[in-house]
């Protein structure tokens, strides 16, 4: 493995996955006493997450509406010697979930403004599509696309600023 610089970017990207995309308020999930922590195998930043049955640990897989979006809050940790980047919160470390706000994200599908955001039940990754037409293997999140883009490129997603009725 070489840590020598391999390329140079001439322009900055529009945004970084998981980072806030505006100065609008962020609504976070209320955590239990002691806070929420990454569950077994860690937690991927810029993906959706579910609160496990113990009410304390989080995972990037589930079958119901996810509890929130794992946003960047200086919570990814480099745990390998000379590691250059990570988008994972190690198991047992504290994590925060956003239930609402504007965030940069990457979807595996092309996205257009106004489309619904769906979370993969296997890994919390994002897909977009028409409202009430969840792609196979996904669940609705209650979030929408605010600025679209091609599959694999940065988009902006917006979560509701009020609780979603169950």
Each as own residue / partner, the long-range contacts of residues 88-92 (CB below 8 Å, 24 or more positions apart, any chain) are 88/42, 88/43, 88/44, 88/45, 89/38, 89/42, 89/43, 89/44, 89/45, 90/38, 90/42, 91/37, 91/38, 91/39, 91/40, 91/41, 91/42, 92/37, 92/38
Dist. CA 141–CA 125, nearest whole Å: 11
Q: pLDDT of the chain along its 166 residues, tens only?
A: 456 667 777 777 788 999 999 999 999 999 999 899 999 999 999 999 999 999 999 999 999 999 999 999 866 566 777 777 788 898 999 999 999 999 999 999 999 999 999 999 999 999 999 998 999 999 999 999 999 999 999 999 999 887 666 5
Q: How do beta strands 94-95 and 88-89 pair?
A: unpaired
Residue 120 in contact with residue 153, Cβ under 8 Å? no
Extents of the domains making up the chain:
27-77+84-159
Can you give the pLDDT at residue 22?
Answer: 95
């Amino acid at each position: 493995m070489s840590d020598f610089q391999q390329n140079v970017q001439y322009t900055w990207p529009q945004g970084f996955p998981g980072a806030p995309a505006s100065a609008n308020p962020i609504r976070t999930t209320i955590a239990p006493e002691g806070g929420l922590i990454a569950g077994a195998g860690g937690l991927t930043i810029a993906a959706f997450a579910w609160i496990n049955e113990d009410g304390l640990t989080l995972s990037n897989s589930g079958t119901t509406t996810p509890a929130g979006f794992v946003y960047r809050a200086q919570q990814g940790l480099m745990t390998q010697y000379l590691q250059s980047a990570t988008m994972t919160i190690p198991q047992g470390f504290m994590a925060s979930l956003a239930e609402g706000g504007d965030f940069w994200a990457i979807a595996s599908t092309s996205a257009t403004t106004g489309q619904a955001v769906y979370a993969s039940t296997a890994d919390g990754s994002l897909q977009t599509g028409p409202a009430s037409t969840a792609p196979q293997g996904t669940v609705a999140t209650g979030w929408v696309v605010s600025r679209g883009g091609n599959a694999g490129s940065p988009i902006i997603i917006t979560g509701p600023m009020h609780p979603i009725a169950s």
